[in-house]
Amino acid sequence: MSFQNVVINKPDADLSIGAVLDQGALVGSPAANIEQTSRPGSAHVDALRVLDLNKSFRSGFLRKRLRGIQGVSFSVSKGEVFALLGHNGAGKTTTINCILDLMHPDHGQVQIFNTRSTDISSRARVGYLPERPYFFEHLSGRELLVFYADLLDVPKGQQSSQIELILEKTGMASDADRPLRKYSKGMLQRIGLAQALIGDPDLLILDEPMSGLDPVGRREVRHLLQDLKAQGKTIILSSHIVPDVEILADSVGIMCEGRLAVTTSMSELSNQSSYEIRVFDEAAVLGYSIIAAGDIDALRSTLENCRQNNRKVLSVETKRSGLEDLFMQVHDARKGA
């Protein structure tokens, strides 16, 4: 699969509503509004539809207009993990803020479970973790979750059991009664993820959820997000870390300088993967030898050969999914534009 196969919005392309719809990103016609993007009588409901979001900012004494995001359009199906991948400043957080109506876009529409994001009821099924969460530092982690449970009208009789379960899932049970001012950055990130789970939301929007976590914490959060996906939750996350996206995402949108340059599915990119199989080898200096497999079929064949010959497989490592190459192509193409 070439880079061109997955480009939806070229860096300097016309990103009008009509152009986006012509490219097949959403169902409808150029004259249609966002409510018309689902077919009458269809059982399919997207968790999120974003259509032609634009946002700019005024800055400085002369109030010069600065670009935020331009022509961002995508949709996310129920139960899908969708990642916004981009370098710092690419527009990921601005896009998320516009989706949640925390920031009003200059142009464009957002629909959450068939309800416009400007309707406050659209956020009733959403859990949100901001990039830099800020909490009342005098509260303990448990008190913070009770505070959010009250805000979300979680019945009093259900709060305690729900909070205990969330604390266990996020690895914060042992520190739940410490004041937040004594939490490390990673612990604050975990308790932030815990508050996003209060009320059992159907859609999770997580802005840089791995920020501040050590390798063990990142692995635990990845496992938690995979469990939530298995439960049917829809997850939208932003990140600039390619390996995390490779593990978690079903589909990816690559942002660059305020535009959504590329969207693609990880299943397409996985066809480009190569693998390293570590096999026990008593004669080797390190105690193992490495066998390379160029694709998934070669991997299957190699593993079957090891099984038939009683060779002990120590590990299998994916060397590349094509996502990093695609990300760098987008970045380099934009730099050269």
- Check whether 119 has a pLDDT greater than 60: yes
Q: Is the pTM of this model over 0.85?
A: no
Closest CA to 223 of 246, 248, 241, 240: 248
Counted residue by residue, the chain has a size of 337
Q: Which CATH architecture has domain 3-272+322-336?
A: 3-Layer(aba) Sandwich (3.40)
pLDDT of residue 82: 96
Sign of CA dihedral 128, 129, 135, 139: positive
pLDDT of residue 334: 66
Name the band, by pLDDT with cuts 50, 70 and 90, for residue 193.
Answer: very high
For residue 186, CA distances in Å to 93, 105, 215, 236 come to: 20, 31, 11, 20
pLDDT in tens, 202-246: 999 999 998 878 888 888 888 889 989 999 999 999 998 888 888
Q: Which of 37-41, 46-50, 131-135 has the lowest mean pLDDT?
A: 37-41
- Return the percentage of the chain with pLDDT > 90, whole number: 43
Dig out the tokens for 105 from the structure: 């876009």
Which strands form 115-116's sheet, in the order they lie side by side? 64-77, 46-59, 107-112, 115-116
Two structure tokens written together for 319: 């060397």
CA distance 235 to 256: 21
Q: What is the mean pLDDT of residues 170-176?
A: 93
> Above 60 in pLDDT, residue 47?
yes
More confident residue, 275 or 263: 263
The pLDDT-based confidence of 272 (bands split at 50, 70, 90) is low
Sheet with 234-239, strands from edge to edge, namely 126-129, 203-207, 234-239, 81-85, 251-256, 259-265
Task: Name the helix (H) or strand (E) containing 265.
Answer: strand 259-265
Tokens linked to 279: 């096999």
Integer Cα distance of 291 and 279 in angstroms? 8
Average predicted confidence (pLDDT) for the chain = 81
Residue 96 has pLDDT above 60, yes or no: yes
- Helical segments of 206-263, H only: 215-230, 242-248
- In three-state secondary structure terms, 250 is coil
Q: What is the separation of C-alpha 9 from the centre of its chain, rounded to a whole number of angstroms?
A: 19
Q: 313 vs 13, 14, 281, 287, 309, CA distance in Å?
A: 49, 51, 10, 12, 11
Reading the block at residue 112, the tokens are: 């959450």
At 288 the pLDDT is: 87
Give yes or no for residue 142 having a pLDDT over 90.
Answer: yes
The answer to whether residue 6 scores a pLDDT higher than 60 is: no
